Structure 1
């Protein structure tokens, strides 16, 4: 990671906050710092989308249809809006200096913050643009800022084409991106360094499409991806090309249209404590890492739906392990195969290192791992793990589960320290019995 990337990401995590007071900004679209405007709580928090089959253990009431609506209304209490330290804060929306996000982005300089008032949702539809300004933070407040591409695109590529480095996108909803060649994205990432958090990317041809950039580190956390894909098998909920590293954590990817739920060609992949579920969609692989790389898949709920286009759930190095140090660790995941056949973990023949497959639950049938040299320990392969509510996608372990205390102690580098909380959150994980439980949750 570049020094600049580390500075921006660190600042984003511990950034000072700005409380805004209504109404006193400068005239539309000028370069003056915006006078702050009040925000409401929950704007940058986890999604409250009621996901399919969630229950008390996993979220809201069941919704077998797979439809998910993102919240946009304000909550009751005031909190602060994140901002970059230094730089200009440019506020977008009714009564603020900038009418649309792209107007503010176009005026922004390196290190600025663009705050988008969700009270203007509906007025931002069709507002598409690209930029090369580095270090921007773009954040919604008063609810989640929403932009529907509405048939428009920037550069024939996406709603947002980001050529600038070290961008942070926080609490934004992007939908409806389509382009004539079928490869449109909500975010087309071309610069080095992107963090997306607390956001919702849905019903695009691609959610995030990141191009090759050897100095780029991409982090996605507490973000939902739903129903992306053009239906051609080449477009996905997220598609990360050859970058230095990709981290996905505390997020939910589901119901892709024929494409994959997670696809990455990064040199290093950390897929940690997510919910990755096919459910009612027609996705292909749940996780595809076609060129290998140093990859850890830890503490995830991974479910293959009955309408999948491919019986493999996790694929590693299937196009050749061209990334250096191609090592796969799949530890403490709950893998549910509702297709009832196929392979949980397919490792390509060119992968030299043996995969670590430890403390996973596999239910629904199929082969656990194809690689003969894999290190396999502590897994719980059973027809009945006694989930709290399998039909509701609640895979917490119930009383009497054969997977409780079933695991073996993982090495420090792959030991789970958290578990996913639906929606889009997490909590710490500690061993409660005589041994770690198999799967993504400790009973």
Structure 2
């Protein structure tokens, strides 16, 4: 019997974690009343389904279990902090590794140190998709973990910030890599729309628009890092706290060692009318290619930057810039077919493969002939056949 038990135990240990994972359900009529109750009962690798029909105000918690997936179903469930916080830090404090959060709304976290976050990420590897973070002091605050990759896709960040300039729509600390793709970050309160100290940053096909907010930088990469900024819509309002839009390497290297910056196929709109589109430190020349810079200001503060086939003219080429519709008009001859093959950099293709589709989505980018300058191709844009939702 002892031999059979040992064989059975060994066989069980050989079964991958995912194959033994359970699904826990949360909400009216389910086994768990709140997400945190299910998280407390979960084992590593489990999936927690949160029904949007439930009421979860004040449901804050911290966990260290690895491999949890928390997913909203039947709509997007909303967890408002309602005056509470876990460990004085956030609605959810995640010390476990390999966590996935999908289709969840987190709001209203305020704490004494003014860094109350929707999520405080302390473990390695976080994936967030189709989520909404608003009216916190930080949307996501990810701490120091050089083994960690943070992936954020198809999510919205709005009105986060304590108003002190040290809290932001999202703030990613010293991690190995940030992948920020197909998101909408807007209206931050004094802080930045996106701040990252990651060793590598992939900032792809997002809408980063200050709009009616009082944000500082639209993109802040204060310690540099190998960074790809491709296919984004970036808008600075007249109410901004800072005249620069993309800030790179302004606080020294920190732990980073690679200072290559590739800015390709983006649309930058400066409604402030003056300032600097690309504020770049260091001696490694940044590459800015096929970008549309509109609204006035210096294109780059770095004298050695490689500026190739960009547009910085005064003729408005947009369908409806007042409503953030930055598609190209048919008569935008200064930018249509005026780009150049993006090439490669850092071992990666620099060619934009998608365009931002509002809100927080993407569609394929199809170039007809020579690539256009900016984040959109003019081709009638059939993807917007139902109208642009500005």
What is the TM-score normalised by the length of structure 1?
A: 0.79
Aligned length: 355
- 2:356: which partner in 1? 420
**For 1:237-270, what per-residue CA distance to the aligned partner results, in whole angstroms no more than 9, with x for missing partners?**
0000000000100000000000000000000000
RMSD: 0.8
Offset, 1:384: 1.8
- Equivalences for residues 43-54 of structure 1 within 5 A: none
- 1:94: which partner in 2? 28
- Separation of aligned partners in 1, 2:113 and 2:132: 24
- Separation of aligned partners in 1, 2:217 and 2:19: 40
2:317 paired with 1:386 = yes
Task: Say which of 97, 103, 127 aligns to 2:37.
Answer: 103
Offset, 1:85: 5.5
- Separation of aligned partners in 2, 1:202 and 1:414: 32
- 2:372: which partner in 1? 437
SS in structure 2 opposite 1:391?
Answer: helix
- 2:79: which partner in 1? 147
2:108 paired with 1:176 = yes
- 1:72: which partner in 2? none
- Equivalences for residues 352-391 of structure 1 within 5 A: 352-391=283-322
SS in structure 2 opposite 1:102?
Answer: helix
- Separation of aligned partners in 2, 1:265 and 1:140: 30
- 1:213: which partner in 2? 145
- Separation of aligned partners in 2, 1:105 and 1:164: 11
- Separation of aligned partners in 1, 2:19 and 2:33: 24
- 1:56: which partner in 2? none
- 1:78: which partner in 2? none
Using CA pairs under 8 Å that are at least 6 residues apart, name the structure with larger relative contact order, 1 or 2. 1
Task: Say which of 327, 342, 346 aligns to 1:396.
Answer: 327
SS in structure 1 opposite 2:40?
Answer: helix
2:250 paired with 1:318 = yes
Offset, 1:431: 1.4
- Separation of aligned partners in 2, 1:203 and 1:223: 15
What is the TM-score normalised by the length of structure 2?
A: 0.90
Offset, 1:352: 2.5
- Separation of aligned partners in 1, 2:65 and 2:186: 32
2:337 paired with 1:405 = yes
SS in structure 2 opposite 1:135?
Answer: coil
SS in structure 2 opposite 1:309?
Answer: coil
Is the 1:206–1:238 Cα contact (8 Å) retained in structure 2? yes
Offset, 1:406: 1.3
- Equivalences for residues 129-144 of structure 1 within 5 A: 129-144=61-76
2:208 paired with 1:273 = no
Unaligned 5+ segments in structure 2 are 1-17, 379-390
SS in structure 2 opposite 1:105?
Answer: helix
Counterparts in 2 of 1:86 and 1:250: CA distance versus 1, 3 Å: farther
Is the 1:385–1:397 Cα contact (8 Å) retained in structure 2? no
- Equivalences for residues 146-165 of structure 1 within 5 A: 146-165=78-97
Runs of 4 or more consecutive aligned structure 1 residues displaced over 3 Å after TM superposition: none
Offset, 1:180: 1.0
- 1:202: which partner in 2? 134
- 2:14: which partner in 1? none
